[in-house]
Amino acid sequence: MALRLKGSRIELLGSCPSYLELEEFVKYVKLDVSSPLIRLLGVRRGSATSYKEFGAAVGLGPRAAGLLLARNPYPVVLPCHRVVRSDGSLGGYSYGVELKRALLAYEGVEMCGGRVCRLARVEEVDDVEEALLRSLGLRR
C-alpha cells in the first residue's frame, strides 16, 4: 500500500481510494515497538538530534545509526529527518537533502546559516501511540 500526506489526511494509493485522518492512521499502522527506530519518536517535533546522540540512545555508533536510519520503512512517520550531523549540518537523507530541509522547516526547526541551531537529546518513549501523535503534530 502506498501513502500520500495531504494536509492532516493520509491518502491510501493503489487498491484503496479512501482517506484516513492522521489519528485513525496512527491506530491503523502497526509499528514494531522492539525496533530501535521507535526511539526516533523521542526526538520532539520542532527539534533535531545528532547521529551521535541517536546512536548512543540505541546502542550504536554514529555511522551505524546512519545506516539504520537509511533502512527506515516509515520515513516521516518515524522521523529520521530529525537526525543531523553533530555540527548541525543536515547530512544525508534517502529522499534528498532538500526534502529533509523542507521537513525540518515545516516542523519549525530553527536553522542558522543552513545548519540546525540547537541539538536536542533523544527522550524516552513510554507510550508509542501518544509519542507518534505528538510527532505528527496532533498532540502537544
What is the set of active-site residues? 80
* DSSP of 28-63: HS---TTSGGGGGGGS-TT-BEEHHHHHHHHT--HH
Q: Which triple of cell numbers denotes residue 139? A: 498532540
Instruction: Decide: 38 and 32 in contact? Cβ < 8 Å.
Output: yes
Find out whether 43 and 131 touch, Cβ atoms under 8 Å: no
Q: What's the half-sphere exposure (Cβ side, CA atoms, 13 Å) at 68? A: 24
